[in-house]
Chain A
């Protein structure tokens, strides 16, 4: 595409004020670069064309938010991928994860990342966290036709709100409905089990390390009861991905940091397979 500029110079379209949105710019100038899934014939069920990304959990702690996801992708009853990455840095103060049709979700996340950075570079300041959340809802709406054909993808957005100095979580439905979640949330096939686990383990005074442990525990519980969610794989050394967003910005936890937490959880579960219990009353 871009190599084919006439005379090697930037086309006038590039230098017009134009839209602040990268997606809108591409659809006007390089529509060939945008995903063209809309062209799929109607009435076909294409679910077997791309694997399903499974469970994502998120929870806040004072001063930040943790986002974590298992590594499994499934095609029907087959494990399509054991070490998939479903978490993405959106920008310096937010991260996004996807569940559902993997091929579409990954592209959505990649485009969303460029979208946020593009806005920030162009306008000289980043979007507000609400602005970021609304932008993602808008992009998701473009996917509605596909969702009707079985390619359902839902993202989970977490971010640090610099104005309010708190971590926040936003969930979405497949038509682009945006919902702010408080304290914790989970999406994907194992989310029912993960949410039950989060409900019992979450407290308001977790520190970052404890919040990461709670996220790993919740993913363990999801993998325990949902066949499409992958648990910690100690033999292959495949552990969940964990992102933390605080006032210091976005950070992906190093593999050995997560491994230490996950191995501790696995060891503890060998004593007590159902995990920690909550006090009654």
Chain B
């Protein structure tokens, strides 16, 4: 008769957390940040069809990094929860906080009860009436929730990406500049300096001024145009030091410190 080895709860939780972190670190990063018209989502994603960023409900969107099959399940669950709730009550009664709580409880349970934690990190963001009422929640693999202000990065090198994003972040920047800041940040992944272009970016916005459903993907010619505009405003170099733009007009926002 064999006896199972005793593993202390501390050790077991630590092992699971290390496992999840390693899994998440293998994937590319994603960033979420406010801009003057709402909330911008940018993910480093080669695929046109396997999305990391999706619509959950009228004002609420979802972004994730990590294992696709696991966060896809979460996304589907969120869509069904939001649609059922909105149908049972009213469309206005579906909130980002509600969805963030459901995700936190779900991930928390999986983390503590199953042997294999889910290797995902997700964001639920809700665009409000004005910039101050926007909500951005980060939910990690163990079910903890953080109410983030203004910007966040998640994925393998979240710290490096966050630092790079903070250099350029401005809540009141137009979309092209916010996108340029996001691309600048994502280029700092894994200590490498990569040149990102429209082909490996997944971009979407929650647009405050839009009617009914605020979520919109930005792709194709529109994305290329926005990237060009962003380059024009902040200079072609990805280095922050050379950010003194030759660009025109409203790029004065560049000087504003976050």
Residues of A within 8 A of B (CB): 1-2, 5, 7-10, 14-15, 17, 22, 25-26, 29-30, 33, 89, 92, 110-111, 114, 117-118, 121-122, 124
Contacts and interface: CB of A to CB of B under 8 A. Distances in A.
B212 A89 contact: yes
Interface in B35-89: 49, 51, 54-56, 73-74, 76-81, 83-88
Contact of A26 (B54, B56, B84, B106): B84
A167 B102 CA distance: 41
B86 A121 contact: no
A26 B109 CA distance: 24
B136 to A, nearest CB: 20
A124 B51 contact: yes
13 contacts: A1-B84, A7-B105, A7-B109, A9-B105, A9-B109, A14-B76, A14-B81, A15-B73, A17-B76, A111-B87, A117-B213, A121-B54, A122-B76
B185 to A, nearest CB: 26
Given A14-B80, A15-B76, A122-B76, 17 more contacts: A5-B102, A9-B106, A9-B109, A10-B103, A14-B81, A15-B73, A17-B76, A22-B80, A29-B84, A30-B84, A30-B88, A111-B87, A114-B83, A114-B86, A117-B83, A117-B213, A124-B51
B55 A110 contact: no
A7 B83 CA distance: 20
Contact of A118 (B77, B83, B101, B108): B83
B77 A121 contact: no
Contacts of A110: 87
B117 to A, nearest CB: 14
B77 A8 contact: no
Interface of B: 49, 51, 54-56, 73-74, 76-81, 83-88, 101-103, 105-106, 108-109, 212-213
Secondary structure at the B interface, as helix, strand, loop or mixed, is: helix
Contacts of A7: 105, 109
Given A9-B106, A124-B49, A124-B51, A2 B77 contact: no
Contact of B80 (A5, A8, A25, A89): A25
Given A10-B77, A124-B51, A22 B102 contact: no
Contacts of B51: 124
A118 B86 CA distance: 11
B84 A33 contact: yes
Contacts of A14: 76-77, 80-81
A267 B47 CA distance: 58
A259 B209 CA distance: 25
A16 to B, nearest CB: 8
A8 B87 contact: no
A124 B108 CA distance: 28
A1 B109 CA distance: 21
A55 to B, nearest CB: 26
B76 A33 contact: no
A34 B212 CA distance: 24
A9 B102 CA distance: 5
B123 to A, nearest CB: 17
Contacts of B101: 8
Contacts of A10: 74, 77-78, 81, 102-103, 105-106
A203 B248 CA distance: 50
Contacts of A5: 102, 105
Given A15-B77, A121-B54, A2 B109 contact: no
Nearest to B101: A8
The 9 A-B residue pairs with the shortest CB-CB distance, nearest first, are: A9-B105, A8-B105, A14-B77, A9-B106, A10-B77, A15-B77, A15-B73, A10-B106, A14-B80
B88 A121 contact: no
Nearest to A1: B88
A17 B54 CA distance: 17
Nearest to B106: A9
Given A9-B109, A121-B79, A124-B51, A2 B87 contact: no
Contact of B74 (A1, A15, A89): A15
A33 B86 CA distance: 11
A124 B49 CA distance: 8
B155 to A, nearest CB: 22
B210 to A, nearest CB: 11
A92 B109 CA distance: 37
Given A7-B109, A121-B54, A2 B81 contact: yes
A85 to B, nearest CB: 15
Contacts of B80: 14, 22, 25, 118
A9 B78 CA distance: 11
A110 B89 CA distance: 12
A7 B51 CA distance: 29
A122 B81 contact: no
The residue among A2, A17, A110, A118 with the most chain B CB atoms within 10 A of its own CB is A2
Contacts of B77: 10, 14-15
